[in-house]
Amino acid sequence: MNQQKLHVPNISCKHCVMTIKNELMEQEGMVKVDGDPETKTISVAWDSPLTLEKIKSVLKEINYPGE
């Protein structure tokens, strides 16, 4: 399992975190998504076939680009 913490500047509230979580959990291979609006970060855990590049692509598509 792979894990990564990403800074997502567009997060402003728990609703933002839920939107991100709902979108990412639809991806095949996503294991866990947690977020913190105060630090503007999300933590993701995933397995193959999902990749970090795909996760970042989904975030960008929903207007929450991650770094």
Domain boundaries, the chain: 2-61
pLDDT at 30: 98
Q: How far apart are CA 11 and CA 38, in angstroms?
A: 8
Nearest to 67 by CA among 19, 59, 29: 59
CATH top-level class for 2-61? alpha beta
Measure Cα distances from 39 to 1, 25, 50, 64 in Å: 24, 21, 25, 14
Does residue 15 sit in helix, strand or coil? helix
Helical (H) or strand (E) element with 52? helix 52-61
Dump pLDDT digits (tens) for 3-59: 999 999 999 999 999 999 999 999 999 999 999 999 999 999 999 999 999 999 999
Q: Which two tokens stand for residue 47?
A: 């397995």
